[in-house]
Amino acid sequence: MDAEGTLWPFYEAWRDGLEELEEDRKGLKAFTKATGMTPKEADAAWRKYFLENIAITVVRYGGTSLQRTSSRLASMKLHVPSRIYGSREDAIDIIRGLRAGTIALGSEG
């Protein structure tokens, strides 16, 4: 939001709306006012930005088969390769290996 010049307008809209806090407790109206789109509309652009500029990979774990299928579909829509690991521990081992340099992206693991 800062790069697009909408961070401070969002903050100011939220701050100025504190009197109506019950009406916009989560800042949804302030976000929409500052960016010109709802958080739901901004979600795909934010995910794309995050994955291209911040994340080194996506690691998922667990869930039901329906949740894993849904997660895989979301990744396919964003064109993000990922693997879904059977447990949280397996996913954390992968992250630790990436950080330590003992595992490289695209390697089996």
Tens digit of pLDDT per residue, the chain (109 long)?
667 777 777 777 777 765 555 566 677 888 888 888 888 888 888 877 877 777 767 776 767 777 777 777 776 766 666 677 878 888 889 889 988 989 887 645 4
pTM above 0.75, yes or no: no
Give the span between the Cα atoms of 11 and 91, in whole angstroms.
35
> Where do the DSSP E strands lie in the chain?
59-61, 83-85
- Please, what sign has the CA dihedral across residues 79, 80, 81, 85? negative
Helices and strands, number each (H, E), in the chain? 5, 2
Report d(CA 14, CA 84) in Å as an integer. Answer: 38
Among the listed residues 45, 40, 39, 43, the one whose alpha carbon sits nearest the alpha carbon of residue 30 = 39
